[in-house]
Structure 1
Amino acid sequence: MPQPEPSRDEAAVRTFIENFSAQLAEFGIPRMAARVMIAEMAAEGNGVTAADLAQQLGASPAAISVALKYLTDLGLIVREPIPNSRRDRYRAVDHGWYTATLLQSGGLGRMGDTVAAGVDAVGGRDTDAGRRLAEMRDFYRFLIEELDGIMARWTQSRRDDPA
């Protein structure tokens, strides 16, 4: 028996895009970039044009352009030419959020290294400032170790159940 076509509720999709992008903005992702990223992830097919995104999100072409550059630089979205056209389409990269999380791990490592230099700069961990900075350094190092383990378990879970 054939499966019925899933119904897509465009109003609910718009609400989801706005709600989730607002949450991502609370974590420091630029709001328009978050809106574009979630709109891309929620899009069916092989991507959308910048003009389509501007219309869907009610945003200026310039704002969309800046967000797309930000997201392509992070590797979350790819730009592909449309055959026989001067336009490009953009699509979310499969597993892009996973890759971005791994890249974040590298940033945490650099922050930990920088804070470690700060511990030395303030006279070591025997000073008040040194104790505070050492705790920050240790926390970043802890996060990296935990994140590496989490990502390994995630990868294994995808192999076990690719959904």
Structure 2
Amino acid sequence: MTIVLQFRRVRPEQDADIPLPRYMTVGASGMDLAAAVTDPIVVKPGEIVLIPTGFAIAVPEGYEAQIRPRSGLASRHGIGLVNSPGTVDADYRGEIRIPIINLGKAPYTIQRGDRIAQMVIAPVCRPTTALVTSLDETDRDAGGFGHTGRGQDSEPPTGRMP
């Protein structure tokens, strides 16, 4: 089944030069998203900035758009997304904006047209829910936060994070 994503430029007269989301290779899962900034934006270490993309999207019912960081920006510069992955719901029609965070040690400059994130379209499952008094038991049961990587005789992790 083929789905159709409808895009609308939010500021067509200003952002006609910004490419719409697109797959950069045949095997890519995510479409690259470009920055529709008017002037370069310097993101200081530890700083969060909301970057416009210049487009809105109509995600078909039963799907979501997941906004994810680009691995090259993350590994080379420490640039990530605050809420990763971010979700664009099927009923949202506003401009897609990307909450960039600089986790690196140096300022990072975002230029107009830079590829800053990627968007993956994924199906959404909406199950019915039921409140129960107990859940079925498993070998893992309530073990979490690294539990499956520990030996069976190890103590469960404390509430402290490293």
> Shorter-chain TM-score category?
under 0.3
> TM-score of the superposition, structure 1-length normalised?
0.25
Q: Which has the higher strand share?
A: 2
> TM-score of the superposition, structure 2-length normalised?
0.25
- Greater relative contact order: 1 or 2 (C-alpha under 8 angstroms, separation 6 or more)? 2
